[in-house]
Structure 1
């Protein structure tokens, strides 16, 4: 299983709801695009496991045109368990799901 580790800032989406995301670094996004070229969904989402502050969870990465990268959604339960807030710098580990 392929995995990547990186640091990124948590931000709150300005639209409806209070979604929080991390933008993947360009090199990680490129590696994931290459690794999933033949298995991505129609919308380009990629199923992963993620770990932030010792909290592991399953989710999907969302492609983002503006940054040519992926967004990692960080749901409320994860933010609460890891005591995270928008603006925090996070160490993130993600791995592709089969």
Structure 2
């Protein structure tokens, strides 16, 4: 299962330094319906591409947003020149399917 979308990068105010992109609702709904192994915090393993950078990580459910959030580490933000509030083109491949 693969999704491509554009969404803004945002910083989590509760813990400075953590940046995320929120998945679109349709992608989150599809992921939530998957029969997959239980993982900590409801996480789902994914492979992500932003620009020329690809890495493996997990997306995490966010009940307040009704979606999943993708953490974007500093090395990726620096390599791709993205900052808080920038729109980010993301491709996610779900590995827990």
Q: Tell me whether the two structures share a fold, i.e. TM-score over 0.5.
A: yes
Give the 3-state SS of the residue equivalent to 2:92 in structure 1.
Answer: strand
Q: What is the RMSD computed on CA atoms of the aligned residues?
A: 1.2
Counterparts in 2 of 1:95 and 1:13: CA distance versus 1, 3 Å: same
TM-score by length of 1: 0.91
TM-score by length of 2: 0.92
Superposed displacement of residue 40, structure 1: 3.5
Match of 1:93 in 2: 91
Which stretch of the first structure deviates more once superposed, 41-50 or 65-74? Answer: 41-50
Match of 1:17 in 2: 16
Give the 3-state SS of the residue equivalent to 2:82 in structure 1.
Answer: coil
Alignment of 1:52 with 2:50, yes or no, is yes
Q: Deviations over 1:11-65 (max 9, x none)?
A: 0111223100000010000011112x33231421000000111210111101101
Structure 1 residue ranges (4+ consecutive) displaced by more than 3 angstroms after TM superposition: none
Aligned length: 96
Match of 2:80 in 1: 82
Gapped runs of 5+ residues in structure 2? Answer: none
Gapped runs of 5+ residues in structure 1? Answer: none
